Structure 1
């Protein structure tokens, strides 16, 4: 609530600039739509739906298709809340048709999610379409991750080739020096020839290396954004299949599932576009994820603790680094125990530029999970180890921070494993 109130104040201040509606109509329409949506979330309907229609009119006049889609989605949400399902369906259906033409998977997911709520009779059809688009997105992400691995391998090969050229250049200089002692005149000729060849080789190698690295870096940035949107497909399939199976027998429970899943997917999609997000958003996403997982199993409880000095709304961290370890705690830790599980997450500041996230479970322990099968060990280490370590290494270079990952067993007084502790030190900044 407090966030929407602050947002309304900011939007109103920005709209006071007289020239913005003429010089920057795209931004002006966005501010109107965001202001209207914030008021809608606070149930302040005095200027609604007038503001939504003003924003839609401007976006339609400048043919801002993505903006038109968002405006119609917001209008559909508004009329759904007003119980006017006819108008709600008209707007969300228009937004869905435009999203199909634009081929924007994010907007398609939003429109099918809302269509399932507006038109419950056909909700199964919309949810199946939702699953198909999600499957396609996950497959594309897997392909991009494979490309990212190849990029790193090619970069290593390029560095090795460059070092080899430097080594050969030094050897050539050494041979030229020896030859100089034998024949001064021959040495001068060889020195000039060798020097020119070395310079030309280094110039062309460095230029090629820089150009290649620049292209690789642009690709790496894209891979990072796609990598952040990772989500376990088994979890998605379990959730959506549960929704489909309970739709006929328990519609109210189906609505709760859809609401929780849509919130989690929306947060994930929004965070995947950003390099850094408020840690408050990350914590909310983890809470949605744990709530959904607990619906499948009553075998565990969870709690989240936030240090008082941590201002979650104004502290930013890289997204999608915590969820894989929460997933591992459930699948590889407490699911293999006979006792009731407990997962604890603690967030606290660690110096000026780090946020420490500690994940503790009372499962079988990290070492034992590695011993119980190569497949489990590979999944446990690959997702929550290799990928996160690679991303932390990139952030460590970019932010010059001491970002790190530690995984250890929790031992009792008899040196028996009674759980796992994961400590993530994430780079952060405050605004």
Structure 2
């Protein structure tokens, strides 16, 4: 009787769609959402809509059918149906349906580890949805889906900071619309990124939050995912019995759902945990099942994971021939995932190149230092022969003064070497090139060329700075603008950076130590703004309050020094910086030729409720030389 009533409601819904001619995704979903997981009804709806020339309803139905085939691991059929839906949406110029179909195609390609088409479809969906100034609720949701999916791709590319940034943006949209499913998914994905970065406790909190959301909406797939994630964390924390209980729950629920993707991952996680518990026979049984399903449905990542887990199991049971076989199988099959291997290879090449460049420059500086020493030694000999008749006191005074100069020049060379090492940070250069590489992968040629030009100009200025102890303030500000343009790529251009110069100041005539402002901007970026989710601003002001020095202030609206220090302590991988100490030493040496000393002041900014609202760094650089004072 219940089924008869449901069929009756469905037939009435079809008639309802005829009467009001539903046009957008939200209105169609409000009528048919309770049926969209029923393949028979959705196929019927697609057929009726096609016959009666309701392309919007037909497109909605095809998207639902495509998702159903994806969830039973029939990926080829899913792709064909979703492409048909996308084609219909394109022909009727329905933006909402087009964006949804593009996102769903991206999800399928991610399931089968085809990163390039997945990236392409999600990026197209995001570009279209983001192009509207006043988007509908569904387009806002589609933006969140695209950002979440791109974040998952960045996870695959091991770009964890970028992934978390996109998940956080998606999470904010889902919070505004109170979409519990979206909140569950994004917290789950943030947990994946934190786990990959070694922050297991933070990851566990996000997984548990996701579990709470999935429990609220009674999402069986969501519960399977959360159980597996929490179980893996327990295993890594050596809480093996707790892991066994929750992973068994994940396995049983995945078998009921009958989604091969989640069955395979549940077998792998449960089998790996049993291996740690030394239940080797049961572990082997589950891992072999995982391998069989993964091969049958072309789940490439799970094939590799299954072989690796089996190799570990057979190694523990001293079946070394089998262990070697599965190890080689994992390695051989991983070679088929060329996207990941090529990326890793490119990363290694970039690192090797940057190390070589850095080492060559340091070597060149060392050779230059040695030449200076040789020249000085030669001059000393000439001096002794020339001034042999001078009194002993004069010789001693000259030697003391000369030694002091040598120590000073050696200190300068050491500081310049340290400065160059800091600026030519391989991690910064690698991430910059990798971000540009992602523009190339996305086929964003204009952005790639634009940022590559910026990057090349910045590197050229660093190399020029390595040969000069100081530069004009005008060149320094231009270099900092280039630096911020490049760093802003990793923040999805979310940072608003401004430079304000007082009109009375001639920046071309003021000399400052080369690249002196970069460490302060780097601190503002990575300690002040990187952990902040909303608006991010940095303002650099140049002004004068005295004729003796020029004042430069750098103000950010970040989380403040205390919060940044607390976050850094909690991280497994801590970001270290010695740039400020090097900067102070260089400013101290620079100030010796001027009437006033340099001064650096750091102010913590608070609002009326004493809540941190950022940090302000004030640097006073002397401009009146000793020669002017004498005059």
Tell me if the contact between 1:366 and 1:408 (Cα under 8 Å) persists in the aligned partners. Answer: no
Pair 1:354–1:137, CA change in 2 (3 A): farther
1:135 maps to 2:331: no
- Distance in 1 (CA, whole Å) between partners of 2:590 and 2:615 is 25
Partner of 1:268: 462
The structure having more radius of gyration, on CA atoms, is 2
- Distance in 2 (CA, whole Å) between partners of 1:412 and 1:258 is 39
1:293 maps to 2:490: no
- Distance in 1 (CA, whole Å) between partners of 2:349 and 2:427 is 17
Unaligned ranges ≥5, structure 1? 1-124, 147-199
Pair 1:401–1:239, CA change in 2 (3 A): same
Partner of 1:308: 503
**1:368-407, Cα deviation, whole Å (9 max, x unpaired):** 3233335899835x322x2222222222223232311111
Residue in structure 1 matching 2:432, options 239, 244, 265: 239
What is the CA distance between 1:357 and its match in structure 2? 0.8
- Distance in 1 (CA, whole Å) between partners of 2:574 and 2:442 is 39
1:282 maps to 2:282: no
- Distance in 2 (CA, whole Å) between partners of 1:413 and 1:248 is 47
- Distance in 1 (CA, whole Å) between partners of 2:365 and 2:463 is 17
1:366 maps to 2:567: no
Pair 1:271–1:255, CA change in 2 (3 A): same
1:419 maps to 2:614: yes
- Distance in 1 (CA, whole Å) between partners of 2:526 and 2:483 is 13
The within-5 A match list for 1:80-119 is none
Deviation larger for 256-265 or 130-139: 130-139
**1:259-312, Cα deviation, whole Å (9 max, x unpaired):** 010111112222332222111111111111111122221332111111111111
Q: TM-score, normalised by structure 1?
A: 0.51
Pair 1:278–1:211, CA change in 2 (3 A): closer
What is the CA distance between 1:142 and its match in structure 2? 7.6
Deviation larger for 218-227 or 134-143: 134-143
Q: What is the aligned-residue RMSD (CA, Å)?
A: 3.7
Partner of 1:399, secondary structure, is coil
Residue in structure 1 matching 2:413, options 213, 222, 244: 222
What is the CA distance between 1:239 and its match in structure 2? 0.8
What is the CA distance between 1:424 and its match in structure 2? 0.8
What is the CA distance between 1:426 and its match in structure 2? 1.5
The within-5 A match list for 1:49-64 is none
Count of matched residue positions in the alignment of Structure 1 and Structure 2: 251
1:379 maps to 2:576: yes
Q: TM-score, normalised by structure 2?
A: 0.36
Partner of 1:311, secondary structure, is coil
Tell me if the contact between 1:243 and 1:257 (Cα under 8 Å) persists in the aligned partners. Answer: yes
Tell me if the contact between 2:350 and 2:430 (Cα under 8 Å) persists in the aligned partners. Answer: no
Pair 1:425–1:204, CA change in 2 (3 A): same
- Distance in 2 (CA, whole Å) between partners of 1:141 and 1:350 is 39
- Distance in 2 (CA, whole Å) between partners of 1:282 and 1:130 is 27
Tell me if the contact between 2:469 and 2:513 (Cα under 8 Å) persists in the aligned partners. Answer: yes
**1:97-152, Cα deviation, whole Å (9 max, x unpaired):** xxxxxxxxxxxxxxxxxxxxxxxxxxxx9999886453234346789999xxxxxx
Tell me if the contact between 1:225 and 1:274 (Cα under 8 Å) persists in the aligned partners. Answer: no
Pair 1:203–1:428, CA change in 2 (3 A): closer
Higher relative contact order (CA 8 A, sep 6+): 1
Tell me if the contact between 2:472 and 2:509 (Cα under 8 Å) persists in the aligned partners. Answer: yes
Unaligned ranges ≥5, structure 2? 1-344, 367-391
- Distance in 1 (CA, whole Å) between partners of 2:448 and 2:351 is 15
- Distance in 2 (CA, whole Å) between partners of 1:224 and 1:214 is 15
